[in-house]
Amino acid sequence: MIRRAFRPAARPSRAQFLAALGFGALGALGQAPWSLWPVALLGFGGLIWLYRASATAPKAAWIGWAGGAGYFVVSLFWLVEPFMVDIARHGWMAPFALFFMAGGLALLWATAFGVARRIGGLIALVALWTAMEMLRSVLFTGFPWATVGHIWSDHPILQIAAYGGTPVLTLLTLAIAAGPAARKPLVGLAVSSILLLAGWGYGSRQLATHAAQNTDISVRLVQPNAAQHLKWDPEHVGTFLQRAVNLTSAPADTAPDLIVWPETSVPYALNDAPTVLEAISRAAGGQPVIVGGNDRVEDGWRNTLVLLGPEGRREQTYHKYHLVPFGEYIPFGEALSKMGIRGLASRDGGGFSKGPGPKLIDLPGIGTALPLICYELIFPRSFIGLPRPDLLLQITNDAWFGNISGPYQHLAQARLRAVEQGLPLIRAANTGVSAVIDPRGRITAQTDLNVAAVLDAGLPEAAPATLYSRLYDWPMRGLLVLLLIWRIAARRRVSIDHASPQE
């Protein structure tokens, strides 16, 4: 089977292959910061047309792979940025990281296109494509970044995520894109238009009838803007720390009830720096402060969030548990470290140790929060099995993600998580974008990228628990299975009818 797929007769023409690459790249332009959803629909629709024109499963799989490669190279090109921080050590890895990641993720699209071609029909493709996008959120620890459904993060259709999360947005997107490729194009176009208008209309109504409302709680987000290539430089460490302290103590119209620093904003081991923590608490006037840093533990180092009380006391601690592979740790790290290969943000050898798992922390006078460190936010399963918190709290260092698309795509996913859970979300980012987001995904306050800033804002009110917050992906999984069963059964009926003797 695999060998047959590489035979010349099994491959699409060069023109078809290049067209698929181009359509995939167009699909990526729906992602932040461009948010060009009509262009994205055109790209996905073009791939579906090429799928329909593929006579065999191998050709369809090649179209899917080429489309995925074009899509992921464009949407994930920020992946080269972390390797540029220390070019001498890691720069050579940048093109390999981007193209291997894009090519690897594209295999999931190839699988969807190839299997769908064997089953037949657009419904099979839409269902399998959606399923493969869901699979990449868990496969090999998961990487659900720039998922197809994320193209709606800045548009009213985002509100539908309250019912089915990213999967329902992906399914809707692909269904809209597939309409014009139906056997009756005008009927398909009409169905696509109805789906688009219905989704847009529902979202617009939700936003209009649920105006943003703030509680009487005030938060302060500290953005020190420590450039990644200077962040750990001994000559600059003190400067960035003092900048964060000064921003913490800056005058405010209303005294904040909570102050939040970003990920790894304390440049010393948290359990070895009591005087630093005490100084931070003094700058906050005794108000609760969330800080990020590293904890030295028996099994190494942990990426840690700490709630400081009066006099710098550690009141609550959370250790990041979903670590970035090849960033915060390297699989088989000790062996590979001897070859000079280490994680970009890791300590010696195997890098950071993961924490015990997600947990809620108590914020005095505010309620409970689910802490999320950096890219833990991109995983909806982080919320499973926990009591419903009062807010979501993310600290992150998006300096790793560059200046063009990475930070904005991360922010877009924060908006999606807020809608899925019906909860306000506050995020403090080292270089931006720090933001306060309401349960409808609206950004009520934000900073600019690459500026030192302090953001004072009210905490939005929570919305009622959403269907997605209760049931997670299970309804969507069931729907996709039913669609595939129905399509396979329909194909078998057609085969039986064709095989029956004619009278």
Among 59, 374, 376, 420, the one annotated catalytic:
374
- Helices (H), strands (E): how many in the chain? 17, 12
Q: Determine contact, residues 57/114, Cβ cutoff 8 Å.
A: yes
Do the bridges between strand 425-429 and strand 443-446 make them parallel or antiparallel, or are there none, so unpaired?
unpaired
What is d(CA 165, CA 421) in angstroms, rounded to the nearest whole number? Answer: 9
Active-site annotation holds for 231: no
DSSP string, 66-81: HHHHHHHHHHTGGGGH
Angle at 29 between CA 449 and CA 73, to 5 degrees: 90
Q: Crossing angle for the helix pair 234-248 and 274-283, nearest 10 degrees?
A: 30
Among 59, 133, 231, 320, the one annotated catalytic:
320
CB atoms within 10 A of CB 389: 20
Active-site annotation holds for 320: yes
Task: Beginning with the edge strand found earlier in the chain, give each strand of the sheet holding 314-319 in spatial order.
Answer: 314-319, 300-308, 289-297, 258-260, 214-223, 453-460
Place of tokens 């969030």: 305
What is d(CA 114, CA 107) in angstroms, rounded to the nearest whole number? Answer: 10
Sign of CA dihedral 129, 130, 131, 136: positive
The residue type of 414 is A
Q: Crossing angle for the helix pair 474-499 and 161-178, nearest 10 degrees?
A: 30
As given in the structure block, the two tokens for residue 85 are 């921080």
What is d(CA 186, CA 193) in angstroms, rounded to the nearest whole number? Answer: 10
The maximal CA–CA distance of the chain, rounded, in angstroms, is: 93
What is d(CA 285, CA 32) in angstroms, rounded to the nearest whole number? Answer: 38
Among 263, 328, 376, 420, the one annotated catalytic:
263
Active-site annotation holds for 263: yes
Backbone angles phi, psi at 336, to 5 degrees: -70, -30
Q: Report the phi/psi class of residue 262: left, alpha or beta, with left for phi > 0 and alpha for psi in -120 to 50.
A: beta
- Catalytic sites, residue numbers: 263, 320, 374
